[in-house]
Amino acid sequence: MTHTYSIQILAGDGIGPEIMAEVKKLIGWINSNTEININTRDGLIGGASIDTYGNPLDDTTLAQCRKADAIMLGAVGGPKWNDVEYNLRPEAGLLKLRKELELFANLRPALVFDALIDASTLKPEIVRGLDILIVRELTGGVYFGEPRGIEDLGNGQRRGVNTQVYETYEIERVARVAFELARKRGNKVHSCEKANVMESGKLWREDVTSLHAKEFSDVELEHMYADNCAMQLLRNPSQFDVIVTDNLFGDIISDEAAMLTGSLGMLPSASLGHVGSVALYEPVHGSAPDIAGQGKANPLATILSFSMCLRYSLNQGEIADKIEAAVKGVLNSGTRTPDIMADKCNQVSTSEMGDAIIAALDT
C-alpha cells in the first residue's frame, strides 16, 4: 500500500537552498523507487522570510508547519540581517519555530565514519568508532528566559541581561528522552550542567537524579560539569554514550562534538516534541554565507537529517538505513566535498555529492 506523507521544507538562507536541493533529489528518488510518496511544500524562514514578509517566521508558514508530517530546515542567518533587532533576526524565526512547536528534545548524533577518521583534528585512535548522542534541551534556558534585553543606564553605560531558567517539568521531559534513548544504545547517560555555580544547574542535577531513581535506575547515570564535559570530549570521547544538557551548553558541546567527526558538515539533528506531534530536522551547521552559492557546501548533514526524519517521523527505518549505507559507501569510495577533502580523494561539488548518493542508492 502506498503511504503518502507531507514534508514542509524551509531551506532558509546562505547554503540552505543548495543543501536542501540535494534532499529534494532524494525525495524524488524515494517517490519513484519505493512504496511511499512524499509531497513537499516550500516555505520561507530566516532572512529569506524577512525579505518577503518583514519577519523571520510568518504565521502562515508556521500554520503550514503544524499541518505537515515533518519539517526539513536548511539554515538561517547571514551578514545582510546582522543589524536588526534580536526578535527580528533570522535566528529568531528558528527559535520561534522550536518554541511554538514545543520541540524540546534536540537529538544531535555525533558519529565518526571510518572513512573520515583522518578528517578529524584528533588522533585516529581517539575518535575511531565514536558514536555519541547529544540530547540538547531546546525550548528553555537562557535562550528564552525573561527578563532579557539591553538597558541604557544613562551614565554612558549599558546593561545586557539574559536569564537562565528551568522548571522541573522541562528538565524531566528532556532527561526522559535521554534515558529512553540510552536504553536502546549504550545504556549510559552523562548529564551536564554547572551545578557548582548555577542554581538552575543544581535543580537540573537534583531533578535528573530523582527521575533516574524513580524510572531509570537500570541506566548508568553520571553527572558532569559542562566545562569538564567539553574537556572530556577531547580527552576521551569514547567514554560517552548519551549526553543530556541544557540549551546553551548543548549548543556549544554539539559544535565541539561535530568537529570530532571531522566536519560540522556531517552532523544531523532531530528536534522532537510530544509524541505524535510534528518534528523538525536540520543540520547542526549554520548558513555559511562565506561559501553560499559556490557549490562547496557539504549536503551530508542535511541528508542525514532527512534520514532521521524518515526514521522518527515517517517510520521508514528501512529507507533511512539505505540512505545511511549510501552515505557510508560514497565516503568509502573517496568522494568528498571540500570540508572533508583528503589525500587521494575525489573532490566534488554539493550537487555532485547528492548525485553520488543517488547513484549509490541505485546500485
Q: How far is the CB of 134 from ligand IPM (least distance, A)?
A: 11
**Cα separations in angstroms, 37 against 2, 40, 74, 280, 310:** 7, 10, 21, 19, 12
Shortest-Cβ-distance residue relative to ligand IPM: 91
Toward ligand IPM, which CB reaches closer, 30 or 137? 137
**Binder of residue 91, out of ligand IPM, Mg ion, none (CB less than 5 to 8 A by kind):** ligand IPM
Q: How far is the CB of 245 from ligand IPM (least distance, A)?
A: 13
Distance CA 220, CA 244 (A): 13
Among 13, 193, 246, 251, binds ligand IPM (CB under 6 A): 251
| φ, ψ of residue 8 in degrees (nearest 5) | -85, 125
**Catalytic status, residue 227:** yes
Pick out residues in 237-256 that bind Mg ion (CB under 5 A).
Answer: 251
Would you state the cell numbers that stand for residue 86, as one nine-digit string?
534580536
**Binder of residue 286, out of Mg ion, ligand IPM, none (CB less than 5 to 8 A by kind):** ligand IPM
Pick out residues in 175-214 that bind Mg ion (CB under 5 A).
Answer: none
**Catalytic status, residue 255:** yes
Torsion from C-alpha of 15, 18, 20, 24, nearest 10 degrees: 180
**DSSP letters spanning 151-198:** EE-SSS-EEEE------HHHHHHHHHHHHHHHHTTTSEEEEEE-TTT-
Toward ligand IPM, which CB reaches closer, 288 or 356? 288
Toward ligand IPM, which CB reaches closer, 94 or 360? 94
Q: How far is the CB of 335 from Mg ion (least distance, A)?
A: 27
Distance CA 197, CA 54 (A): 40
Toward Mg ion, which CB reaches closer, 18 or 282? 282
Cis peptide before 90 (omega within 30 of 0): no
Let me know if 164 is exposed, middle or buried by CB neighbors in 10 A (0-12, 13-18, 19+): middle
**Binder of residue 265, out of Mg ion, ligand IPM, none (CB less than 5 to 8 A by kind):** none
Distance CA 30, CA 36 (A): 7
| φ, ψ of residue 53 in degrees (nearest 5) | -105, -10
Check binding of 339 to Mg ion (CB under 5 A).
no
Check binding of 117 to ligand IPM (CB under 6 A).
no
Catalytic residue among 69, 241, 251, 339: 251
Distance CA 264, CA 242 (A): 19
**Binder of residue 192, out of ligand IPM, Mg ion, none (CB less than 5 to 8 A by kind):** none
DSSP state of 84: S
Toward ligand IPM, which CB reaches closer, 211 or 266? 266
- The number of residues that bind ligand IPM (CB under 6 A) is 7
Check binding of 246 to ligand IPM (CB under 6 A).
no
Would you state the cell numbers that stand for residue 61, as one nine-digit string?
508558514
Q: Which has the closest alpha carbon to 118: 334, 349, 269?
A: 334
**Catalytic status, residue 96:** no
Toward ligand IPM, which CB reaches closer, 94 or 175? 94
Check binding of 308 to ligand IPM (CB under 6 A).
no
Catalytic residues: 143, 194, 227, 251, 255
Please give the residue ranges that form the binding site for ligand IPM (CB under 6 A): 76-77, 91, 94, 251, 284, 286
Please give the residue ranges that form the binding site for Mg ion (CB under 5 A): 251
